[in-house]
Amino acid sequence: MGMISRVRGRIRSDSFSKIHNNKSEDKLANIVWLISLVLVLPYWAPRGLLVALGGAWLMAAYTCLVLPVLISANYRYPARWYPAVAKLVRRLARRLRAPTACLLGVLKTAYAPVDRAERLFLQMNNLSTMVSQLLIFTACDRLLVLQGRLTCLYSLMFYNVVTYSVNYVKEICTKEDWSPYVNVTRHSRVKHLAMSATKIVLEWTKAVTFIVTMTFILLTLGLEQGLEYFRPTTLYTLITGTFYLLSEKTFLELWPLALSALKLESLEGMEVLYCGVWSRAITTMIAVPLVPALVWHERFRLALLILYICVIVHGRHRLGEELMKLNEAQGSLARFRRATADEISTLEDVCAVCLGTMKSARVTPCAHFFHADCLRKCLASSDRCPICVREYVFC
């Protein structure tokens, strides 16, 4: 009997300690929840208490230091009603799944005309690009330049002049026919007098315009005349310059050429596709943080325009199209394995499509080696090997 009573005493003491521990954990969880609620209160203060005290940097530092601690503390000591709330949310989500799908279908049908208008707007490439540039530049004016409301116009004009100069230099570098005369037909040696005179006048006009433009730019920047309203900060120039260089058509055509000069074998000749995705992604990432910043400064209409045009329209259509092209190209090559370094070194051969040396290659099921980009171009027209004309059969 004494042994039985001792066992019962131990059981009672263990159960009491467990109850005591549960109560203490519940108490600690409630304290953590209340402290979290108090520490989140500065976000609900009018105009932001932390911003009023120390500016946006204090708010950012407070967010980076406090929020991770609050999340980890609530994860370590969850309140008893957390699982019940999560279970209730899951139950509501299951019940609202069918009505939500029906509502999304109705919204998609109603949004179809707007989607067609967005695609038509993007087809006017120059207009849509200029509108997005003006919106981003105006937002940077409102956020980063205290005085100088014309800074965005000055900046856009300056960038356009630079683009014109780059276009002219590019035309000179890629020009093949330097003859000032125009023949009557392609294979004739008879000169067309009127067309030749027009061509000479146009070429000289372009050259004189380029020289005058560069002279005035150098004089303006050197003498700083007429720039009293042009006071861009370093951050302003960095953001607007990056957005312009990654959205203007002229530079979008130059970036793949510059990337091709690096000869990165990991890109497998798809520099154009990678540059398209990177440029669209970076321009969208530049536009995203400007929206809450404008809302914070009560620029609601400008924030709404940037959110719709620069983030939703450009991000959904242009970035989506570039990602789809890249995924299709990578998907078409995924069936073919990469050649190893030993295989390429022992091969000592050239690509049968472009006759170029192979530092990296893809291997077909019929054991033929091609550059990845050359193979991708061949797959666009035929699903047969360019050498043995066999259909690709994968095990």
Examine the pLDDT at 133 and tell me if it is beyond 80. Answer: yes
pLDDT at 373: 81
The identity of residue 127, as a single letter, is L
pLDDT in tens, 42-63: 777 655 555 555 566 677 777 7
Kindly indicate the confidence band of residue 37, based on its pLDDT and cuts at 50, 70 and 90.
Answer: confident
pLDDT in tens, 255-311: 888 888 887 777 777 888 889 899 999 999 999 999 998 888 888 898 999 999 999
pLDDT at 356: 76
Half-sphere exposure of 98 (CA within 13 A, CB side): 1
Of residues 11 and 174, more confidence is placed in: 174
pLDDT at 18: 45
CA dihedral 383, 387, 390, 392 (to 10 degrees): -50
- When pLDDT is averaged across residues 350-369 and rounded to a whole number, the result is 80
Of residues 371 and 206, more confidence is placed in: 371
Kindly indicate the confidence band of residue 243, based on its pLDDT and cuts at 50, 70 and 90.
Answer: very high
Any bridge partners for residue 369, and if so which?
A: 363
Examine the pLDDT at 20 and tell me if it is beyond 70. Answer: no
* Cα angle 45, 46, 49; round to 5: 55
Q: How far is CA 371 from CA 266, 267, 334, 339, in A?
A: 12, 11, 14, 10
d(CA 302, CA 11): 69
pLDDT in tens, 318-358: 888 888 988 888 888 888 888 887 777 777 677 777 877 77
* Rounded-to-5 percentages of helix, strand, coil across the chain: 75, 5, 25
Weakest-pLDDT range from 83-87, 220-224, 256-260: 220-224
For the beta carbon of residue 273, count every other beta carbon within 10 angstroms. Answer: 22
* Cα angle 288, 290, 295; round to 5: 115
Examine the pLDDT at 170 and tell me if it is beyond 90. Answer: no
- When pLDDT is averaged across residues 122-129 and rounded to a whole number, the result is 88
pLDDT above 70 covers a percentage of the chain that reads: 79
Of residues 6 and 360, more confidence is placed in: 360
Examine the pLDDT at 228 and tell me if it is beyond 70. Answer: no
d(CA 165, CA 18): 79
d(CA 291, CA 143): 11
The tokens describing 297, both together, are 């400064």
Any bridge partners for residue 313, and if so which?
A: none
Name the DSSP class of 391. B
121 Cβ partners below 8 Å, 6+ apart? 127, 128, 313
Weakest-pLDDT range from 1-10, 65-74, 111-120, 131-140: 1-10
d(CA 118, CA 104): 19
Q: Is 292 left (phi over 0), alpha (psi -120 to 50) or beta?
A: alpha
Examine the pLDDT at 186 and tell me if it is beyond 70. Answer: no
Q: What is the pTM of this model?
A: 0.67
- Of 254, 391, 380, which is closest to residue 325 (Cα–Cα)? 380
The tokens describing 245, both together, are 């260089």
Examine the pLDDT at 220 and tell me if it is beyond 70. Answer: no
pLDDT in tens, 23-34: 677 778 888 888
Element (H, E) at 350: none
